[in-house]
Structure 1
Amino acid sequence: MKSMKKILMGIAIILFGIAISLGPDSFLFIGWIVSLVGLIMSFIGYYFKEDE
């Protein structure tokens, strides 16, 4: 269950990063960085999931 929460949190962070990058041009790279952090978090949650 914890891995599912990490995957969903990663997806939420990715969407938040996309929303930031759609703002003014100065926030474009900040949005990309936030999205990459969310992507890494999702992969970690998927990779370390427990078989139930």
Structure 2
Amino acid sequence: MKSVKKILMGIAIILFGIAISFGHDSFLFIGWIVSMFGLIMSFIGYYFTEDE
């Protein structure tokens, strides 16, 4: 169950990063960094899923 929470948190962080990048031009790189962090977190959550 923790892996599902990590995947969902990663997706939420990706969407938050996209929302930041739609702001002013100075926030574009901050949004990209936040989105990449969410993508990495989502992959980590997917990688550690347990097969049932």
Interval containing the TM-score (normalised by the shorter chain) = over 0.9
Q: Give the match's secondary structure for 1:36.
A: helix
Percent sequence identity over aligned pairs: 88
CA distance in 2, matches of 1:5, 1:16: 16
CA RMSD of aligned residues (A): 0.5
Q: Which amino acid aligns with 1:31?
A: G
Alignment of 1:1-52 (within 5 A): 1-52=1-52
Unpaired runs of 5+ in structure 1?
A: none
> Deviation of residue 10 (structure 1)?
0.1
Normalization by structure 2: what TM-score? 0.97
Cα distance in 2 for partners of 1:12, 1:24 equals: 21
Moved over 6 A (4+): none
SS of structure 1 residue aligned to 2:50: coil
